[in-house]
Amino acid sequence: MKNRASALAMLIAGFLVTSTGSVASGQIEPGATEPVVRYDGHKVYRVTVKDQREYLAVTSLADDVWTHSPGLGGLDVQVSPAKQAALEGLGLPTRVLIADVQGLLDAERAEILRRRQQRDLAWFQNYKTLAEINTQLSAWSTAYPAMASTFVVGNSLENRQIRGVKITGPESAEYPKASRPQILFNGCQHAREWISPMVNMYLGDQFLIQYASGGTVKDLLDRVEIVIVPVVNPDGYEYTWTTNRLWRKNRRNNGGSFGVDLNRNWGYQWGGEGASTSPSDETYRGASAFSEPETQAMRDMVLANTRLRAAIDFHSYSQLILSPWSYTSTLPPDSSIFNQLNASMQSAIQGVHGQFYDAGPTYTTIYPASGASGDWYYGAGSTPRKILAWGFELRDTGTYGFVLPADQIIPNGEEIMAGMIDLASAIAFPAKISLPDGVPSFVEANATSTVRVNVSASPGETLNASSLKSYARVGSGSFAPTALASLGGSLYSATLPAAGCGAQVQFYIEAMTTSGKTVRLPADAPAAFYSTPAAELTLTLDDPCEVNNGWSLTTAGDNATTGRWELADPIATAAQPGDDHSASGTKCFVTDGRGGAVGDYDIDGGKTTLTSPAFNGLGSSGSVSYGTIVSYWRWYSNNQGSNPGTDNMPVEISNDNGATWHTLETVTENAGAWVSKSFVVDSIVAPSAAMKIRFVAQDLGGGSIVEAAVDDVRVTVASCPLDPADVNGDGFVNGDDYDLFAEWFDTADLRADFNHDGFVNGDDYDAFAEEFEN
Query: pLDDT, tens digit, for every residue of 561-607?
Result: 999 999 999 999 989 999 999 888 999 999 999 988 888 999 999 99
Kindly report, residue by residue over 195-215, the tens digit of the pLDDT.
999 999 999 999 999 999 888
Angle at 351 between CA 182 and CA 367, to 5 degrees: 65
- Model confidence at 12: pLDDT above 80: no
Nearest to 367 by CA among 403, 342, 339, 391: 391
Which of 509-528 are b and which e, b meaning 16 or more Cβ less than 10 Å from the residue's Cβ? bbbbbeeeeebbbbbebeee
Instruction: Tell me the one-letter amino acid at 119.
Output: R
29 given a catalytic annotation: no
Q: Looking only at Cα atoms, what is the longest distance across the chain?
A: 107
SS3 content of the chain, % helix, strand, coil (to 5): 25, 30, 45
Q: Which amino acid is at 644?
A: P
Helices assigned H by DSSP within 582-722: none
The pLDDT assigned to 154 comes to 97
pLDDT at position 773: 85
Residues 42-64 have pLDDT tens digits of 999 999 998 889 989 999 999 99
On whether the CB atoms of residues 283 and 261 are closer than 8 A, the answer is yes
Q: Is 531 helix (H, G, I), strand (E, B) or coil?
A: strand
Phi and psi torsions of 635, nearest 5°:
-125, 135
pLDDT at residue 579 in the model: 93
Strand, helix or coil at 567?
A: strand
Q: Which tens digits make up the pLDDT trace of 332-375?
A: 998 888 998 999 999 899 888 888 899 999 988 887 889 999 99
- Distance, C-alpha 715 to centroid of its chain: 29
Q: How far apart are CA 163 and CA 151, in angstroms?
A: 6
Per-residue pLDDT at 25: 30
309 close to 226: Cβ distance less than 8 angstroms: no
DSSP H or E stretch at residue 359: strand 358-361
Q: Which of 369, 391, 386, 233 is nearest to 297 (CA)?
A: 233
Q: DSSP per residue over 33-62, as a string?
A: -SEEEE-TT-EEEEEEE-SHHHHHHHHTT-
pLDDT value for 72? 67
Candidates 393, 461, 566, 652; catalytic one: 393
Give the mean model confidence (pLDDT) for residues 29-42: 71
Is residue 651 classed as helix, strand or coil in its secondary structure?
strand
pLDDT digits (tens, 9 = 90+) for 726-735: 877 776 788 8
Supply the mean pLDDT for the chain.
Answer: 90
For the stretch 663-709, pLDDT in tens is: 999 998 877 789 999 999 999 999 999 999 999 999 987 678 899 99
In the prediction, which pLDDT does 21 show? 56
Q: What is the mean pLDDT of residues 747-760?
A: 86
Nearest to 423 by CA among 365, 366, 338: 338
Residue 531 has pLDDT above 70, yes or no: yes
What is the Cα–Cα distance from 436 to 603, expressed in whole angstroms? Answer: 31
Cα–Cα distance, 266 to 281 (Å, whole number): 17
Confidence at residue 714, expressed as pLDDT on a 0 to 100 scale? 96
The band of 69, judged by pLDDT with boundaries at 50, 70 and 90, is: low
Q: Identify the pLDDT of residue 755.
A: 83
pLDDT tens per residue across span 375-405: 999 998 777 778 999 999 999 988 899 999 9
- Asked if 722 contacts 606 with a C-beta cutoff of 8 angstroms, the reply is no
Spatial distance between the Cα atoms of 762 and 458, rounded to a whole number of angstroms: 67
Count CB neighbours of 46 within 10 A. Answer: 19
Quick one: average pLDDT of 763-768? Answer: 86
CA atoms within 13 A on the CB side of 385: 15
Distance CA 353, CA 350 (A): 6
pLDDT digits (tens, 9 = 90+) for 316-339: 999 999 999 999 999 999 888 899
Contact 395, 285 (CB under 8 A): no
* 18-22, 468-472, 584-588, 636-640: least confident range: 18-22
Higher pLDDT, 629 or 12: 629
Residue by residue, DSSP assigns 408-474 as: GHHHHHHHHHHHHHHHHHHHH-SEEEE-TT-S-S-EETTS-EEEEEEEEEPTT--B-GGG-EEEEEE
* 26 Cα distance to chain centroid: 45
Q: What amino acid is encoded at 619 in this protein?
A: G
Looking at per-residue confidence, does 641 or 421 come out higher? 421
Partnered with residue 472 across adjacent β-strands are: 480, 507
Would the pLDDT of 273 be above 80? yes
CA distance 82 to 80: 6
Average pLDDT over residues 532-554: 95
pLDDT at 499 over 70: yes
Give the model's confidence band at 33: pLDDT under 50 very low, under 70 low, under 90 confident, else very high: low
